[in-house]
């Protein structure tokens, strides 16, 4: 299921008075179904905070956030968790795999939590591990995998419930160059198959896989570049609005 992600006037401040931090400062964003949007900018400019807002892991102080026809801002913790479980996949810099579970079990977990029968969850996990090139490692614990392999397991896990939106926060940030290349290929493949992806990155090669690149500064969008020659999907602006599903 593909959804348009739509945010208007999204704001998240921390602290108060002289300690006030405008982590996300009235951000407007539309991500069309099938689009890969890269977000870059200096450390502390609000990239992670924005991604957490977009994924319903944190609540905005104000502003609206919609995923398809569903309004996400202001949902209760339980309702937000339900939307996340079914509709949004996360990939983090530090993988966040469960160390005590095998690769297969890590990938199965979100499906089981969403109520998928055990057999179907197992089948899905096997299929996804195959897609990220790790069929032969399904029974390994994360500790027995390389960084690049762990991150590929994390991507497979993020896809377990076939989410309409995939959010990634510096997914190559902890990887050496060769491992980063593995993960980079994976994101390029996700883009090619029409996944909707928002990816925060420091890595210019990762940024290069995006359809559109947004630069953040001091909590706001400072610049936007549409990367060309990428197969003619609507990338931004009116094209994205035309795909709006509200």
Ligand X SMILES: Nc1ncnc2c1ncn2[C@@H]1O[C@H](COP(=O)(O)OP(=O)(O)O)[C@@H](O)[C@H]1O
Structure tokens at 213: 């690149």
Alpha-carbon gap, residue 110 to 55, rounded angstroms: 15
Q: Does 148 bind ligand X (CB under 6 A)?
A: no
The entry of ligand X, Mg ion, none that residue 76 binds, CB within 5 to 8 Å by partner kind: none
Under rule CB under 6 A, which residues in 7-36 are in contact with ligand X?
14, 21, 23
**Site stretch for ligand X (CB under 6 A), options 38-46, 67-75, 103-111, 150-158:** 38-46
Smallest distance from the beta carbon of 7 to ligand X, in angstroms? 15
By CB under 6 A, the residues from 39 to 58 that bind ligand X are 41, 43-49
76 forms part of the interface with ligand X (CB under 6 A):
no
Kindly state whether residue 172 participates in binding Mg ion, applying the rule CB under 5 A. Answer: no
Residues 210, 195: Cα–Cα separation, whole Å = 12
How many residues touch ligand X (CB under 6 A)? 11
What is the side-by-side strand order in the sheet with 88-92? 88-92, 165-169, 197-200, 36-40, 212-217, 220-226
Q: What are phi and psi of 213, to 5 degrees?
A: -120, 125
- Determine which helix (DSSP H) or strand (DSSP E) holds 159, and give its type and residue range: none
By beta-carbon proximity to ligand X, the closer residue of 47 and 191 is: 47
Q: Give the closest residue to 3 by CA, choosing from 28, 29, 31, 33.
A: 33
Output helix, strand, coil percentages for the chain, rounded to the nearest 5.
35, 25, 40
Contact stretch for Mg ion (CB under 5 A) within 30-38, 45-53, 120-128, 230-238: 45-53
Q: Site for Mg ion (CB under 5 A): which residue of 4, 48, 151, 236?
A: 48
Burial level of 20, CB count in 10 A (0-12/13-18/19+)?
Answer: exposed
**For ligand X, which is the closer residue by CB, 46 or 68?**
46
Rule CB under 6 A: say whether 191 interacts with ligand X. Answer: no
CB of 191 to ligand X, least distance (A): 22
* Binding region for ligand X (CB under 6 A): 14, 21, 23, 41, 43-49
């Amino acid at each position: 299921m593909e959804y348009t992600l739509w945010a208007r006037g999204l704001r998240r401040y921390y602290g108060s008075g002289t300690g006030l931090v405008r982590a996300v400062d009235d951000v407007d964003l539309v991500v069309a179904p099938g689009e890969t949007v890269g977000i870059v900018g200096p450390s502390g400019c609000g990239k992670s905070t924005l991604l957490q807002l977009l994924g319903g892991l944190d609540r905005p102080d104000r502003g609206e956030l919609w995923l398809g026809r569903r309004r996400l801002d202001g949902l209760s913790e339980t309702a937000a968790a339900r939307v996340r479980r079914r509709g949004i996949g996360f990939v983090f810099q530090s993988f966040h795999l469960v160390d005590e579970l095998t690769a297969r079990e890590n990938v199965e977990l979100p499906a089981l939590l969403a109520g998928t029968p055990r057999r179907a969850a197992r089948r899905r996990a096997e299929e996804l591990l195959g897609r990220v090139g790790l069929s032969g490692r399904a029974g390994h614990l994360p500790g027995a995998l390389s960084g690049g392999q762990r991150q590929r397991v994390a991507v497979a896990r993020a896809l377990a419930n076939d989410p309409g939106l995939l959010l990634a926060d510096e997914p190559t940030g902890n990887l050496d160059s060769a491992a980063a290349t593995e993960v980079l290929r994976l994101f390029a493949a996700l883009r090619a198959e029409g996944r909707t992806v928002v990816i925060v990155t420091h890595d210019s090669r990762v940024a290069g896989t995006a359809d559109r690149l947004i630069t953040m500064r001091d909590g706001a969008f400072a610049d936007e570049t549409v990367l060309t020659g990428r197969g003619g999907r609507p990338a931004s602006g009116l094209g994205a609005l035309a795909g709006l599903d509200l």
